Each structure stands twice: as C-alpha cells, then as structure tokens.
Amino acid sequence: MQDRYDTVLIGGSGFIGTHLSHYLTESGERVLSISRHLPDQPIPGIDSVAIDFSDPTSAKEFSLPSCQSVIILIGQVGPGFDPNKDREALSAVISVINAYGGSLKVLYASTALVYGNCEAPAHESDPLRPIEPYAVHKAENESLLKKSIDPRHSLAILRLSNIFGDIRSRGFISLLVRSLQEPGRSIGKFIVNGDGKQERDYLFIDDLVAAFLAVKSRLAGSDIINISSGESRTLLSVIEAVRQVSGKQVDFDLNNQPINEAQVIRVSNKHLAEVYGFTPQLSFKEGVAEMWQRSSRTV
C-alpha cells in the first residue's frame, strides 16, 4: 500500500467497482481498492486491501491513507445481502472517514429505487417513497450519511439507475445475454415476474463510470445526483432489444403475479448534465450491442 492515493474505493471488487477502478487508473489516478476479499489475481496498477468493515476489530485497525476522494460501493443487492451487516459496515466507514485529518470528497452509491413509483421523471428534490426493502434500506443509509459525515467533507449521494454491461454481473439483461451465448446450454424459457411492463431506467457501465468521474472532478460541497440515462423502458422492450442485437429468439412466459416493487421508475438526469456536464454516450440498444460483443469474446 502506498502513502498517497487519488481515490479509495470501498467495496471495489464487484461489478461496478472493478470497472470503476480500471477507468480511474486509465485516467492516471492512483487507486486503492478495499473489499472483504482480495481478487484472485492482482489487478495491474491497482492496490488491493482486504478489510471487512462489518467486523469491528478489522475496521478499528484501519485508517485512510492520504487521498482526495472516497467512493463507497458497499451494500449492493444480491445473494447473501444482509442489511444489518451493511449498516454496521457503513457506520464503520463513516467513522474512518471522519477520523481522517483533511477534507475529502465522499461519493456514495445509492439507488433510484428510493423514489418509488414515478409517473414523471424523478428529480433529486422529490420526496422518497421506497417500496422494496432494499430501497428502504438505501434511503435510510442516505439519511445516516447526511447526518453523520463531518461537514468538512463534501458528500455526493449518487442515485443509480439499473446498471448493465457485463454478463458476470447480476440482473435481467445479464441473465438473458449469458443464456443466449453460453455454448451447449439450453436457453429454456424465461419466467418474467409480473406482466413484463415494469419500467426501469438502464445505464451502460461505461457511462456510469464516466459519470462518477465527472461528479468527482466537479463536486463542490454536498449534493444528491441521479446517475441515469433519463429514459425508461419495460422488461418486454428489453427482451426485444436483446433479440434484435443477438438475432436469437428469446422464449419467455409472464407469470402475471403481483410483485412488491415499484412498477414505474423514471429518473431525470438534468442535474447531472447541467451541473456536472455529463450526458450518456451510448443509447440503450448501443449499450446492449457493446455488451453482446464484449461478452462474445469471453465465452
């Protein structure tokens, strides 16, 4: 571990963290990636440290090296997600940040699901009406950060839309693409929850990491920023886009069962564009095509 870094990533070994650490390094930054487990193979140009912030002993023994920014990516939903451990880990991270001697830019990855159903595109000042337990948890984490981070630090809460771009990640698009590309695997029939008309905003991973860098470079004071494409689409339209890009038929059924989640998520990215000068470079279909090409080279 070096004495000085530009950016420290906490929770940096996952889908978003891996892409972000590569992007920052390629941009000339010195990056320290912290996660519960070290990567199987060292990542060139990136220092990695294993720390479990939900373990009080491990957390107390760690202090931040000299750095300018801390990006918090812990607490991403998935198998084994434990909200209590995540809250403990976040509290420990806050303590580490507040113990740092200087001022920092602190970026926290939240979710656009905190808005709940949005008939009109949600703006950052809109009230939060989370429905899913994960969204409720993230909204509570936002409140904890806002009241706990020392005011000498600049806090950016980033409300992320659905991020896609890698078949190794979780999510509906990854499942579709992986099943269509894996040789010798029967595609089978997908069961789509509900009526398939649930709307979500989707953003390609390359645009996400570029948006992170734009916010990090221009952040002055504390802010809340939607990181989104500004467009929403149904699950049925996602299936159709994958079919068009792949040239393969997707066999699926709708279970038409009630679902305990937001039906419509529409998110404005106007603030991201006007204040931080960033707009997505790829359309949804272009992102799906890029994902298809990249994953074709890995299977």
Specify if 217 maps to a domain: yes
Domain that holds residue 109: 7-164+202-230+266-280
Tokens encoding 37: 């487990």
Provide the greatest CA pair distance for the chain.
57
Instruction: Give the Cα separation of 218 and 49 in Å (integer).
Output: 28
User: What is the per-residue DSSP string for 54-118?
Assistant: TSHHHHHT--PPB-SEEEE-----STT--HHHHHHHHHHHHHHHHHSSS--EEEEEEEGGGG---
Count up the domains in the chain and report the number.
1
20 domain-assigned: yes
Backbone angles phi, psi at 212, to 5 degrees: -55, -45
Residues 70-88 pLDDT 10s = 999 998 766 667 889 999 9
296, part of any domain: no
User: Which residue ranges in the chain fall short of pLDDT 70?
Assistant: 77-80, 183-188, 297-299
Q: Which of 266, 162, 265 is nearest to 204 (CA)?
A: 162
Question: For residue 299, is it within any domain?
Answer: no
- Model pLDDT, residue 190: 74
Paired strand residues for 72: 10, 108
pTM: 0.94
The total number of residues written for the chain in this structure: 299
Give the model confidence (pLDDT) of 190-203 as tens digits: 788 889 999 999 99
CA atoms of 121 and 147, how far apart (whole Å):
27
CB atoms within 10 A of CB 148: 14
186, part of any domain: no
Q: Which SS3 state, helix, strand or coil, does residue 11 take? A: coil
- CATH number of the domain residue 19 falls in: 3.40.50.720
Is 247 inside any structural domain? no
What is the tens place of the pLDDT at every residue in 111-151?
999 999 998 999 999 999 999 999 999 999 999 999 999 99
Confidence at residue 141, expressed as pLDDT on a 0 to 100 scale: 98
Q: What is the Cα–Cα distance from 228 to 194, expressed in whole angstroms?
A: 24
